Amino acid sequence: MATEVSKDSKFTLSLETAASIAVTIALVVGMWYTLQADIELAKKLPEPEVSRMEYDLKDQMVRDSIMNTEEKVEKLEEKVDSVKEDTRSINETLLNMNNN
């Protein structure tokens, strides 16, 4: 369905719809200015200091994570070694079967 718009076209807008549009525009503009004011305020505030305790806790958390990862890697290495041994054993068994 094609609609042709020309200078003779009529456009109707209820009072309720016009008020809704006006309120929506006002809210968006208000939020924009509030956001801009908050950004400017944040630019002027000093950077928060990281307390020694917070630094130590984060440092400990990182160290624990590294140790946990190291343990997991060691377990994986052991599993890989086990799989390699199993593979060698299977290969040897197959070779012995083929030679007999």
Q: Residue 98's pLDDT is what?
A: 80
What band does 2 get if pLDDT is binned at 50, 70 and 90? low
Q: What is the mean pLDDT of residues 85-100?
A: 87
Domain positions in the chain are: 14-45, 49-100
Q: Which residue has the higher pLDDT, 2 or 64?
A: 64
What one-character-per-residue DSSP string does 11-46 give? ----HHHHHHHHHHHHHHHHHHHHHHHHHHHHHHSP
Q: What is the mean pLDDT of residues 40-58?
A: 87
Judged against a pLDDT cut of 60, whether residue 1 lies above it is answered with no
